């Protein structure tokens, strides 16, 4: 994304906050005018003191009274401006994080997998944090900075045109230096942000797998890999940090030049009697105040470069294409109530177009059928299920639910009618009850307990310290794999859709428990179109249709008996 | 925080040079008002242009020297800060890698990740700013005061009143926000957790159409985060106007007194201008100082979180001197003597009074229901935890007598969850077997029935896996994890329910492959499938943490009720296996 485009996007992001920003601008103007009035009052005060025995005390009193009033206005405006800036920034990043999380639910899951969870985490947390810092600085210092420059120029020209010219002539130096430095720095910041993303990915992965790493005593190897990355990052980091930190001293030096210039020319005018000492004092503090915003602006610019690089990464994700809900060329069928007749025609799918992961999948089943999918690991079973759920979109072919092409049903509506239990369990770090009622927050406690009982999870839940109110730790870390699986089944039991997908749903449950919940499973599947990926013969044998998959293709299909008679791959599998 | 200071030890020189040059810069800055007084009193009033030019040149020279000093200081401050954060990052990562299972559970992965990233960044920023400003700002403030005293003692008294007042305000506001920043950081941790969960649960969330609920949950914490930030920043926002008003009030006093002193002839107007300039220098520095305090605040909050993690006590002692690799030829491989174990903070025991003995080359099956203690048993064998009672012996010696890493190096482990890393297949296989050549890796792949998977990838061993191996199927990942364990070429192998994603045929071939290694490999197979363990030399039947039966398949069929039940439950369902 081009920088210009990123800036445009940031402005767009700020649009709803415009009233607040305008208000902040008004306070900024008041703040600046008050700040600039103080040196004038000070200068006039100095002009009241001419020499020994010659001081205008009455004038001094009036000046100091004004001084006090201006000062109070200054303080109040400054405070209100800061409050408004905080509000604008914090609520903007608040909304941005909300949008990022929302986006995670609307992009294809393949996008999430491809971008990497660690990297996305870094975009949502660190990058947004940096953007927040950048925006805050931008508001608080850019506004006042620019206003101070403009205000000072006006005040100066009104007071004395000649010295003002000195200041104006020296100004481009400061601008030139600042822009030169920030250009140099941006490159390094960009590199730094991408390295940081890479490192965060590595940290994410390693921290999550620390148990495994220990099992292999591979701590040292991981540390070595990390240290290498760390060293590389430190090098880039040093460059970015040093270049960006040269801005202040360099502009401060230019500032010093302006100060000296004003001093010399002001004094020469003073010798000619065309400038009072008080006015010179006033100009000198202007010279200070005038260049200070350049300092700040250039500081802000470097910080902002960093923020912009981060914003770019944030927008990049926000711009990812969403999943298509209704496929092009198809008419939407609004929330159909499905019975579960399914026909699949010439389905094909691949991640990269060079190698087909799944192809030529065709079959037809009536509602209530049980379909078992068997085949060696890696034959495409899971991919097929991802297609059924529309997590993936097929490259070719179509799935028809009750004769309706899946592409014309909203995903939300479709998934409401398909229940799934996967081998890989996922639970929230929330209470057991909330996990069972997942997706159905309106469920009553009775319903939850009922579902748990059906899934044979009630007994172990009751034995947990706080029963249904036990809070699961991250990834359900305080439960065994089997217990997690039982919770996932209970979660499904709460609300049974017409179509079921059970992908190795009982692989982590011991057979004694499984036997106990088999009845439950049978009631669960009764009258529901069910896809079962399993190894157990009993489950497979009773299926109405067995799909035998190999290398991404259905090579045999039929009932247990017909397939056995065929003495093909299925028969081989059974007899291995 | 103090404990983090040692990371600056290697950067002592940088840490001295940076503030020293900053102070030099400040010193030259302090001369500027005096040079200006010269221009006013000796130049303008006495109409002497030479003095004006001379002093003007001095001003430029002071600026040049200041620039040089400052650039030097910036470089060394950046160098020290980055060296510091690099060191902290390195040690923190190593510390996390060294955490026992118990500590990982307690600390939580997402908060550890925040510590590694955001917290370290904020501490680095803090160190950098401290080196640059912490000495410079007070130096200018007090320097300005001293310069004021050299001009006129009476006129300088207001400086001694105003400076302590300013410091009190700055410090009071700063320290009242410290605990708030800590809470904000904690909130950021929960936001991180939300995001992590939403990423890892993408499929389930969609399947249950729960995106709205997730967004609502996230919104709660996100709203809190917003509110806390607003309140805290609101308190900090008082600082600037408060100092502004105080300094300018002092300035009013200087002007009023200045009028009196000029009237009495004690001061010239040029010197009053110098006093005014010193007062404004104080204000400018204070603005920097307050910003610095905000940064330091954040940095301190982060630093205390980092050092808390660095100081977490190890729950497992690692003072064993023996090297398990030296003892692996012992004929006795493993023994449990009346071992009991309960997880920290758990109410009941996960293993209760378990005893058995395993000799070299045996295949041991461990079977039992969900939550019966199978995985716990393997965790004790890997010494992820220590037994609460009783003794675990490995290769004839108490397991605690070995160094931790040597225990784990001598035992290969295939966990329940098939976890892989981003990187090439080769890098993944070499996880515990650094130095193994390709032939060895292919052999491990063959034994794990994973050869075909890798052969079919275009770059073979150099095939790049994405994060967590997401571009492989569950079964493929599982077989690679088995190959990874076999590549270590150890004498003990634990398969922790790790063939659950494999079909029966592959599982059977895998077990046949393992049997061919019988003379050198002791295998522990943890499973729920009778078929996976029934040929084992010894089967341990666990039920609710107790070993209710130990023996061969046939013996257990006649004397172990639980085993009989398990077998019945499975044979009823599957006369043969697919």
pLDDT level of residue B575 (50, 70, 90 thresholds) = very low
Q: By CB neighbour count within 10 A (0-12 exposed, 13-18 middle, 19+ buried), where does B455 fall? A: exposed
Q: Phi/psi of residue B119, each to 5°?
A: -60, -45
Q: What is the pLDDT of residues B215-242, one digit of tens each?
A: 888 999 999 999 999 999 899 888 889 9
A518-556 exposure pattern, b = at least 16 Cβ within 10 A, e = fewer: bebbeebbeebbbbbbbbbbebbbebebbbbbbebbbeb
Q: Which residues of A touch B264 (CB under 8 A)?
A: 52
Residues in chain A: 576
Coil/strand/helix, residue B491: coil
Name the nearest CA neighbour of B524 among B361, B373, B384. Answer: B361
Instruction: Report the CATH number that the domain containing residue A354 is assigned in CATH.
Output: 3.40.50.300
Question: Cα separation of B273 and B261, whole Å?
Answer: 13
**Boundary (domain end) residue, out of A283, A318, A353:** A318
Contact (CB<8Å) B576/A537: yes
Contact (CB<8Å) B466/A49: no
Q: How far is A540 from chain B (nearest CA, A)?
A: 9
Average pLDDT, chain A: 84
The alpha carbon torsion through B157, B158, B159, B163 (nearest 10 deg) reads: 120
Q: Which of A241, A480, A536 sits opposite B82 (nearest CB)?
A: A241
Average pLDDT in the A153-162 region?
84
- Which range has the worst mean pLDDT, A177-186, A390-399, A557-566, B129-138? A177-186
Contact B492, B522 (CB under 8 A): yes
Average pLDDT in the B120-143 region?
87
pLDDT surpasses 90 at A72: yes
Are residues A433 and A368 part of one domain?
yes
Average pLDDT in the B52-69 region?
91
Q: Which residues of A touch B505 (CB under 8 A)?
A: 376, 573, 576
Contact (CB<8Å) B259/A57: yes
Q: Which of B96, B270, B528 sits opposite A511 (nearest CB)?
A: B528
Report residue B264 CA to chain centroid gap: 66
Minimal Cα distance from A74: which residue of B? B241
pLDDT level of residue B21 (50, 70, 90 thresholds) = very high
Residue A461 falls within a domain, yes or no?
Answer: yes
Average pLDDT in the A534-549 region?
79
Coil/strand/helix, residue B451: helix
| pLDDT for residue B576 | 39
pLDDT surpasses 70 at A475: no
Q: Which two tokens mark B280? A: 């404004």
Partner B contacted by A113 (CB < 8 A): yes
Residue A410 falls within a domain, yes or no?
Answer: yes
Residue A449 falls within a domain, yes or no?
Answer: yes
Partner B contacted by A400 (CB < 8 A): no
Q: Which residues of A touch B70 (CB under 8 A)?
A: 248-249, 252
Q: What is the pLDDT of residues B341-398, one digit of tens each?
A: 887 666 567 788 888 888 888 888 998 876 678 888 888 888 888 888 888 888 888 8
Q: Which residues of B touch A245 (CB under 8 A)?
A: 74, 77-78, 128, 132
Average pLDDT, chain B: 84
Choosing among A125, A413, A479, A505, which should be mutated to test the B contact, i.e. which has the most B CBs within 10 A? A125
Scanning A405-536, the segments in alpha helix (DSSP H) are 411-416, 432-436, 445-454, 458-463, 481-493, 511-525
Partner B contacted by A475 (CB < 8 A): yes
Contact (CB<8Å) B468/A238: no
Partner B contacted by A228 (CB < 8 A): no
| pLDDT for residue B1 | 57
Are residues A410 and A311 part of one domain?
no
Report residue A344 CA to chain centroid gap: 37
| pLDDT for residue B486 | 86
What ranges make up the beta strands (E) of B303-455?
A: 332-341, 351-359, 363-368, 389-394, 397-398, 411-414, 423-424
Q: Which residues of A touch B64 (CB under 8 A)?
A: 253
Contact A370, A559 (CB under 8 A): no
Q: How many CB pairs under 8 A join A and B?
A: 513
**Boundary (domain end) residue, out of A285, A318, A351:** A318
Contact (CB<8Å) A473/B484: no
Q: How far is A4 from chain B (nearest CA, A)?
A: 28
Name the nearest CA neighbour of B214 among A166, A430, A344. Answer: A430
pLDDT level of residue A508 (50, 70, 90 thresholds) = low
What domain range is A499 assigned to? 342-575
Are residues A309 and A362 part of one domain?
no
* CATH fold label, B2-310: ABC transporter transmembrane region fold (1.20.1560)
The CB density around residue B519, as the number of other CB atoms within 10 Å, is 7
Residue A329 falls within a domain, yes or no?
Answer: no
| pLDDT for residue A225 | 86
pLDDT surpasses 70 at A291: no
Choosing among A90, A379, A418, A512, which should be mutated to test the B contact, i.e. which has the most B CBs within 10 A? A512
Are residues A557 and A453 part of one domain?
yes
Residue A565 falls within a domain, yes or no?
Answer: yes
In chain B, % of residues over pLDDT 70:
96
Q: What is the pLDDT of residues B153-179, one digit of tens each?
A: 888 888 888 888 988 888 888 778 878
Give the A window 319-348 contacts with B, CB below 8 Å.
Answer: none
Q: How far is B86 from chain A (nearest CA, A)?
A: 6
The residues of chain B that CATH labels 3.40.50.300 are 324-571
| pLDDT for residue B68 | 93
Choosing among A84, A226, A230, A245, which should be mutated to test the B contact, i.e. which has the most B CBs within 10 A? A245
| Sign, Cα dihedral of B164, B168, B170, B171 | positive
Q: What is the pLDDT of residues A239-277, one digit of tens each?
A: 888 888 887 788 788 878 888 888 888 888 888 888 888
Are residues A260 and A135 part of one domain?
yes
Minimal Cα distance from B564: which residue of A? A512
Are residues A346 and A312 part of one domain?
no
pLDDT surpasses 60 at A576: no
Contact A574, B576 (CB under 8 A): yes
Average pLDDT in the A400-429 region?
84
Prediction ipTM score: 0.78
User: Angle of helix B474-486 relative to helix B438-447, nearest 10 degrees?
Assistant: 120
pLDDT level of residue B573 (50, 70, 90 thresholds) = very low
Average pLDDT in the A105-112 region?
85
Query: Left, alpha or beta for A34 (phi > 0: left; psi -120 to 50: alpha)?
Result: alpha
Higher model confidence: residue A332 or residue B61? B61
Q: By CB neighbour count within 10 A (0-12 exposed, 13-18 middle, 19+ buried), where does A151 fall? A: buried
pLDDT surpasses 70 at A513: no
| pTM for this predicted structure | 0.69
- CATH for B324-571 (3.30.1300.10, 3.10.20.90, 3.40.50.2300, 3.40.50.300): 3.40.50.300
Coil/strand/helix, residue B488: coil
Q: Which residues of B touch A391 (CB under 8 A)?
A: 203, 206
Residues 6+ apart with CB under 8 A from B530: A511, B367, B566, B567, B570, B571
Partner B contacted by A54 (CB < 8 A): yes
Q: What is the pLDDT of residues B418-466, one digit of tens each?
A: 778 888 888 888 887 777 788 888 888 888 888 888 888 778 888 888 7
Residue A333 falls within a domain, yes or no?
Answer: no
pLDDT surpasses 80 at A279: yes
Average pLDDT in the A376-387 region?
81
Contact B450, B476 (CB under 8 A): yes
Question: Cα separation of A295 and A249, whole Å?
Answer: 8
Could you give the strand order of the β-sheet that contains B389-394, starting from the edge strand earlier in sequence? B397-398, B389-394, B332-341, B351-359, B546-551, B538-543, B363-368, B522-527, B492-496, B411-414
| pLDDT for residue B225 | 93
Question: Cα separation of B114 and B126, whole Å?
Answer: 17
Are residues A346 and A286 part of one domain?
no
Q: What is the pLDDT of residues B478-500, one digit of tens each?
A: 888 888 888 887 888 888 877 76
Q: Which residues of A touch B47 (CB under 8 A)?
A: 271
Q: How far is A310 from chain B (nearest CA, A)?
A: 14
pLDDT surpasses 90 at A75: yes
pLDDT surpasses 80 at A354: no
Q: How far is B337 from chain A (nearest CA, A)?
A: 23
| Domains: count for chain A | 2
Contact B329, B112 (CB under 8 A): no
Q: By CB neighbour count within 10 A (0-12 exposed, 13-18 middle, 19+ buried), where does B466 fall? A: middle
Partner B contacted by A514 (CB < 8 A): yes
- Which range has the worst mean pLDDT, A557-571, B187-201, B334-348? B334-348
Choosing among A98, A177, A260, A499, which should be mutated to test the B contact, i.e. which has the most B CBs within 10 A? A260
Choosing among A274, A535, A570, which should be mutated to test the B contact, i.e. which has the most B CBs within 10 A? A535
Residues 6+ apart with CB under 8 A from A232: A195
Residues in chain B: 578
Residue A304 falls within a domain, yes or no?
Answer: yes
Q: Which two tokens mark A103? A: 């986006």
pLDDT surpasses 80 at A289: no
The residues of chain B that CATH labels 1.20.1560.10 are 2-310
């Amino acid at each position: 994304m081009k920088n210009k485009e990123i800036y445009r996007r940031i402005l767009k992001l700020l649009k709803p906050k415009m009233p607040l920003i305008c208000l902040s601008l008004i306070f900024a103007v008041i703040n600046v005018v008050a700040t600039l009035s103080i040196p004038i009052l000070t200068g006039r005060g100095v002009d009241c003191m001419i020499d020994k025995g010659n001081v205008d005390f009455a004038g001094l009193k009036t000046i100091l009274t004004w001084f006090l009033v201006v000062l109070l206005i200054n303080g109040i405006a400054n405070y209100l401006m800061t409050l408004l800036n905080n509000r604008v920034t914090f609520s903007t990043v608040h909304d941005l994080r909300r949008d990022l999380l929302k986006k995670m639910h609307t992009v294809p899951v393949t996008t999430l997998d491809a971008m990497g969870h660690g990297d996305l985490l870094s975009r949502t947390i660190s990058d947004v944090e940096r953007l927040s810092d950048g925006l805050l600085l931008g508001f608080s210092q850019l506004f006042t900075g620019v206003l101070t420059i403009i205000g000072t120029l006006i005040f100066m020209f009104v007071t004395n045109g000649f010295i003002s010219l000195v200041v104006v002539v020296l100004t481009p130096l400061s601008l030139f230096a600042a822009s030169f430095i920030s250009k140099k720095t941006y490159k390094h910041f960009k590199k730094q942000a991408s390295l940081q993303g890479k490192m965060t990915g590595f940290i994410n992965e390693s921290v999550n797998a620390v148990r495994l790493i220990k099992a292999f005593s591979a701590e040292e190897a991981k540390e070595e890999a990390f240290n290498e990355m760390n060293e590389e990052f430190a090098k880039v980091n040093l460059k970015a940090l040093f270049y960006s930190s040269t801005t202040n001293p360099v502009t401060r030096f230019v500032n010093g030049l302006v100060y000296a210039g004003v001093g010399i020319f002001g004094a020469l005018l003073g010798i000619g009697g065309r400038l009072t000492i008080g006015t010179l004092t006033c100009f000198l503090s202007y010279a200070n105040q005038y260049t200070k915003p350049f300092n700040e602006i250039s500081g802000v610019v470097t910080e902002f470069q960093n923020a912009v690089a981060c914003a770019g990464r944030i927008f990049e994700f926000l711009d990812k294409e969403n999943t298509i809900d209704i496929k092009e060329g198809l008419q939407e069928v609004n929330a159909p109530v499905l019975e579960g007749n399914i026909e699949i025609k010439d389905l094909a799918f691949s991640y990269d177009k060079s190698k087909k992961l799944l192809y030529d999948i065709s079959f037809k089943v009536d509602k209530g059928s049980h379909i078992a999918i068997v085949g060696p690991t890696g034959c495409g079973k899971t991919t097929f299920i991802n297609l059924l759920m529309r997590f993936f979109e097929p490259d070719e072919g179509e799935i028809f639910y009750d004769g309706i092409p899946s592409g014309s049903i909203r995903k939300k509506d479709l998934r409401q009618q398909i229940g799934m239990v996967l081998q890989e369990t996922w639970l929230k770090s929330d209470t057991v009850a909330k996990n069972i009622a997942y997706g159905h927050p309106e469920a009553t406690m009775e319903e939850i307990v009922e579902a748990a009982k059906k899934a044979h999870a009630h007994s172990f839940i009751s034995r947990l310290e706080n029963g249904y109110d036990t809070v699961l730790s991250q990834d359900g870390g305080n439960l065994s794999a089997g217990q997690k699986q039982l919770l996932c089944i209970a979660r499904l039991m709460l609300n049974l859709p017409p179509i079921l997908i059970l992908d190795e749903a009982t692989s982590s449950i011991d057979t004694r428990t499984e036997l106990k919940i088999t009845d439950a499973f049978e009631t669960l599947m009764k009258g529901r179109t069910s896809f079962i990926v399993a190894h157990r013969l009993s489950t497979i044998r009773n299926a109405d249709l067995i799909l035998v998959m190999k290398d991404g293709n259905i090579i045999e299909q039929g009932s247990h008996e017909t397939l056995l008679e065929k003495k093909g791959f299925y028969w081989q599998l059974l007899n291995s | 925080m103090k404990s983090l200071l040692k990371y600056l030890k290697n950067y002592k020189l940088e840490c001295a040079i940076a503030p020293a040059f900053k102070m030099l810069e400040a010193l030259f800055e302090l001369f500027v008002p005096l040079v200006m007084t010269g221009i006013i009193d000796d130049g303008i009033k006495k109409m002497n242009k030479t003095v004006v030019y001379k002093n003007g040149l001095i001003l430029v020279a002071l600026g040049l020297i200041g620039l040089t000093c400052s650039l030097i200081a910036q470089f060394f401050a950046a160098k020290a800060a980055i060296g510091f954060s690099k060191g902290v990052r390195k040690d923190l990562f190593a510390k996390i890698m060294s955490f026992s299972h118990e500590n990982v559970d307690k600390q939580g992965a997402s908060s550890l990740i925040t510590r590694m990233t955001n917290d370290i960044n904020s501490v680095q920023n803090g160190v950098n700013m401290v080196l640059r400003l912490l000495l410079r700002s007070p130096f200018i403030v007090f320097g300005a005061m001293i310069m004021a005293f050299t001009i006129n003692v009476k006129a300088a008294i207001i400086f001694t009143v105003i400076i302590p007042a300013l410091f009190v305000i700055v410090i009071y506001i700063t320290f009242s926000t410290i605990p708030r920043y800590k809470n904000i950081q904690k909130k950021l941790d929960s936001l991180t957790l939300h995001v992590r969960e939403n990423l890892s649960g993408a499929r389930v969330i969609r399947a249950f159409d729960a995106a709205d609920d997730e967004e609502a949950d996230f919104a709660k914490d996100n709203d809190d985060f917003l509110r806390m930030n607003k309140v805290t920043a609101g308190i900090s926002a008082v600082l600037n106007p408060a100092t502004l008003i105080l300094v300018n009030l002092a300035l009013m006093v200087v002007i009023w007194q200045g009028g009196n002193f000029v009237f009495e002839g004690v001061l010239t107007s040029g010197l009053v201008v110098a006093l005014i300039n010193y007062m404004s220098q104080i204000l400018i520095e204070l603005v920097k100082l307050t910003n610095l305090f905000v940064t330091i605040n954040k940095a301190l909050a982060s630093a205390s979180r980092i050092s808390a993690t660095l100081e977490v006590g190890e729950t497992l002692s690692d003072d064993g001197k023996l090297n398990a690799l030296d003892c692996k030829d012992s004929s006795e491989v493993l023994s449990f003597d009346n071992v009991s174990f309960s997880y920290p903070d758990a109410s009941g025991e996960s293993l209760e009074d378990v005893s058995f003995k395993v000799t070299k080359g045996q295949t041991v099956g461990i079977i039992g229901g969900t939550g019966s203690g199978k995985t716990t048993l393997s965790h004790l064998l890997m010494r992820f935890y220590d037994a609460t009672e009783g003794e675990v012996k490995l290769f004839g010696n108490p397991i605690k007598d070995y160094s931790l890493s040597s225990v784990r190096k001598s035992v290969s482990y295939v966990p329940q969850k098939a976890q892989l890393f981003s990187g090439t297949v080769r890098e993944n296989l070499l996880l515990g077997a650094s130095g193994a050549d390709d032939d060895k890796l292919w052999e491990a792949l063959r034994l794990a029935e994973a050869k075909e998977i890798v052969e079919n990838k275009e770059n073979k061993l150099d095939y790049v896996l994405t994060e967590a191996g997401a571009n492989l199927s569950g079964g493929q990942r599982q077989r690679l994890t088995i190959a990874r364990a076999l590549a270590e070429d150890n004498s003990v192998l634990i398969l922790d329910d790790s063939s659950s994603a494999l079909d029966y045929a592959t599982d059977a071939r895998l077990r046949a492959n393992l049997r061919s290694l019988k003379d050198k490999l002791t295998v522990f197979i943890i499973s729920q499938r009778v078929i996976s363990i029934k040929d084992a030399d010894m089967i341990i039947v666990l039920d609710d943490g107790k070993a209710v039966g130990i023996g061969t398949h046939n013996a257990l069929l006649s004397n172990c009720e639980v085993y009989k039940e398990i077998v019945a439950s499975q044979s009823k369902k599957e006369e043969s296996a697919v």
